[in-house]
Amino acid sequence: MTEENHFKRIYAQQAEGYDALIRCHDVEGNLLPALTVLHPLEGSQVVEFGAGTGRVTALLAPRVRSIRAFDESEAMLAIAERRLAEANITNVTLAPAPNTGLPVEDNSADLTIQGWSFGHATGWYPDSWRDQIGNMLAEMSRITRPGGTLINIETQGTGFETPRAPSQALADYYTWLEQEHGFAFKWIRMDYTFDSLEESEKWMRFFFGGEMGQRVIENNWLVVPECAGIWWKTL
């Protein structure tokens, strides 16, 4: 099984496991402060691409006016719906849709955001990812009002304390965002924190594969270092 088919299978068939993993992500809470300085959240209408099980959704919802969140995987959205209900969050609507075409009107959002979603196109469409992601970025721009902000969050390496793109394709994508589309860039740490070495190995192996599971054991990692990149642009 290819790496990208591995991720597709998890998103479609093992959403519960994925959600258990990402609930251990960024326990220190570095993402929200990094986002708040890029665009005012209070009163903002947000559209989210590739919302998954709702981690970014739940983070932003208490601070914004509303969020319309979309994902292709209905299994992931079902967990997001449960997460939001548990937190008594009522200003979010969830619906299935591909990143290239959301059922949202033009110029209707103050902020459009995606986390760890667009980058998969570099693996799923190795020969046409620029066209695929270009369509996604165009969809972001279509939906965002003048003066609004586009935000892309992507991996900058798991198991590393400083940023490094996990593949050449992702490195090319990140450079393309900055040089061809005018996005600014910064990075933050978003480590995974686990209660036991057994749990750490289990979930790292589940999502990132056997080599990562072995690194957890060798390094005795209860806290697995990870970096995230944030690319943003104001229209």
Evaluate whether 159 touches 226 at the Cβ level (below 8 Å). yes
Report the distance separating Cα 172 and Cα 228, nearest Å. Answer: 16
**pLDDT on residue 12:** 87
- pLDDT of residue 1 exceeding 60, the answer is no
Break the chain into its structural domains and give their ranges: 3-234
Residue 111 has pLDDT above 80, yes or no: yes
- For the stretch 126-142, pLDDT in tens is 999 999 999 999 999 99
**pLDDT of 91:** 98
Phi, psi dihedrals of residue 165, rounded to the nearest 5°:
-60, 135
Supply the pLDDT for residue 219: 97
Query: Does residue 232 contact residue 183 with C-beta atoms inside 8 Å?
Result: yes
What separation in angstroms does the CA of 169 have from each of 50, 114, 174? Answer: 20, 19, 9
Assess whether pLDDT exceeds 70 at residue 115.
Answer: yes
Indicate if the pLDDT at residue 4 is higher than 80: no
pLDDT of residue 48: 98
**CB proximity list for 126: less than 8 A, separation 6 or greater:** 169
* 157: Cα separation from own chain's centroid: 13
Judge whether residue 86 has pLDDT over 90. Answer: yes
Q: How confident is the model at residue 5 (pLDDT cuts 50, 70, 90)?
A: confident
> Superfamily for 3-234?
Vaccinia Virus protein VP39 (3.40.50.150)
Q: Is the pTM of this model over 0.85?
A: yes
Local structure of 146: helix, strand or coil: strand
DSSP letter at 34 equals H
Contact 143, 109 (CB under 8 A): yes
- 46 Cβ contact list (under 8 Å, min separation 6): 60, 64, 65, 66, 67, 68, 109, 110, 111, 112, 113
Q: Is 234 exposed, middle or buried (0-12, 13-18, 19+ CB in 10 A)?
A: middle
